[in-house]
Amino acid sequence: MRIQLTMEGGIAFFPGLNKPIIVDTEALSQHDQAEVQRLLQETHFFELSDNALAPSYEGADRQRYTITIEDDDTSHILRLVDPIQNPHFQALVQYLRQLR
């Protein structure tokens, strides 16, 4: 499974300096693979539509996250905006950021 986390916007955002985080789960340790799977299950990632977590308000100073997961021949994308209200998605984003 390939996971890409893209972060955009927010205060002091510099597009050229903010590269996406790309995680190939097969290259992770067994512990990290299990943790990513646990976090994805807790978020019900594949059961949500792309805009399910979009807030009713946005602003130029809010950080935006796009999580794209490709597994075999399928892909799923979710977009989130700070502040992330769902603690499971907060944990997923934080974990992916630490895998950088």
Is 91 a residue whose pLDDT tops 80?
Answer: yes
Domain count, the chain: 1
Q: Angle, nearest 10°, between helix axes 87-98 and 30-43?
A: 150
Phi, psi (rounded to 5 degrees) for 5: -115, 120
Q: What are the pLDDT digits (tens) for 39-56?
A: 999 999 999 987 666 665
Angle subtended at Cα 61 by Cα 55 and Cα 67, rounded to the nearest 5 degrees: 55
Mean pLDDT for 66-94 is 93
When pLDDT is cut at 50, 70 and 90, the band that residue 93 belongs to is very high
**Rounded CA separation 72/39 (Å):** 19
Please name the helix (run of DSSP H) or strand (run of DSSP E) that holds residue 33, with its range, or none. helix 30-43
**Domain with 85 in it:** 2-98
Could you tell me if 79 and 69 are in contact, meaning their C-beta atoms sit under 8 angstroms apart? no
